[in-house]
């Protein structure tokens, strides 16, 4: 994974008024920490940060972070966003090493089309949209792809079924569902209605065959018995 260079401006003063001033000037307040480096308050150009984190790697993008005279290999580990505008209002940068295993959240992307599920009016549920993995920074995948084209209603793909790249592991429960092919509420209602109709038809057929009262066969039998009683009288 190629690194993207970001230049951090040092000397940021603490306080909300200073943070508002920086944001008004198009900069994002930030903190740099990790590997024995004392946490330092810096600021980053908002456009440069947006560009660095808008690629396929997202927050897992490796950064060459220049802080004063030093340059650190780092990753953006925590972003705070404005509740309305959703712009980044603060970011934490963690210094990492190329040979250390770190944790990262990687999106789970579904590929293919579950045609059998669509034909049965089912739905594809995706309860696990991201998976926490462990890998060295350069081996963190942009995403984990899951092919759903062979799924039918009732199928489930679990964490233990995922094919992780070499050097990538996870502590997630192997039985945790990632994708589930389920019957939709509409399909379930239709199936229930069809089942009720079939049961009613079977009951009617059985009643007709045994001549139960209230059926045609039962009426004919009752009529015959009545006629015989009249002749005897």
Of the segments 6-15, 130-139, 189-198, which one has the largest average pLDDT value? Answer: 130-139
CA gap 40, 52 in Å, rounded? 21
Q: Grade residue 233 by pLDDT with cuts at 50, 70 and 90.
A: very low
Domains annotated on the chain, with CATH: 4-96 (2.40.240.10), 103-182 (2.170.120.20)
Q: Grade residue 230 by pLDDT with cuts at 50, 70 and 90.
A: very low
What percent of the chain stands above pLDDT 70?
Answer: 83
pLDDT of 229: 47
Mean pLDDT of 91-96: 95
pLDDT of 74: 96
pLDDT of 190: 57
CA gap 136, 202 in Å, rounded? 64
Q: Which of 91-100, 162-171, 185-194 has the lowest mean pLDDT?
A: 185-194
Higher pLDDT, 178 or 207: 178
Neighbours of 85 (CB within 10 A): 8
pLDDT of 192: 63
Q: Compute the mean pLDDT over every residue in the chain, rounded to the nearest whole number.
A: 86
Q: Grade residue 211 by pLDDT with cuts at 50, 70 and 90.
A: low
Mean pLDDT of 114-128: 95
pTM of the model: 0.73
pLDDT of 225: 53
Please name the residue that has the structure tokens 């903190």.
Answer: 31
CA gap 173, 109 in Å, rounded? 19
DSSP reduced 3-state for 53: coil
Burial code (b: 16+ CB inside 10 Å, e: under 16) for 9-44 equals eeebeeeeeebeebbeeebbbbbbebeeeeebbbbb
């Amino acid at each position: 994974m190629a690194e993207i260079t970001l230049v951090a401006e040092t000397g940021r003063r603490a306080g909300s008024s200073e943070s508002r001033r920086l944001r008004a000037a198009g900069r994002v307040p930030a903190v740099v920490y990790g590997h024995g480096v004392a946490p330092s308050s810096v600021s980053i150009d908002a456009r440069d940060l947006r560009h660095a984190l808008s690629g396929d790697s997202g927050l897992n993008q490796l950064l060459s972070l220049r802080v004063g005279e030093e340059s650190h290999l780092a990753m953006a580990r925590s972003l705070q966003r404005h509740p309305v505008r959703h712009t980044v209002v603060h970011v934490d940068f963690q210094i990492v090493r190329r040979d250390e295993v770190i944790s990262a959240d990687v999106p789970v992307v579904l590929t293919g089309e579950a045609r059998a599920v669509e034909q049965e009016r089912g739905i594809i549920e995706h309860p696990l949209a991201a998976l926490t993995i462990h890998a060295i920074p350069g081996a963190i995948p942009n995403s984990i792809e899951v092919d759903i084209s062979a799924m039918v209603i009732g199928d489930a793909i679990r964490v233990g079924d995922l094919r992780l790249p070499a050097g990538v592991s996870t502590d997630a429960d192997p039985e945790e569902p990632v994708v589930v092919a389920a019957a939709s509420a509409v399909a379930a209602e239709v199936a229930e209605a069809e089942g009720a109709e079939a049961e009613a038809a079977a009951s009617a057929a059985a009643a007709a065959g045994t001549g139960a009262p209230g059926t045609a066969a039962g009426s004919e039998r009752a009529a015959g018995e009545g006629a015989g009683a009249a002749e005897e009288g």
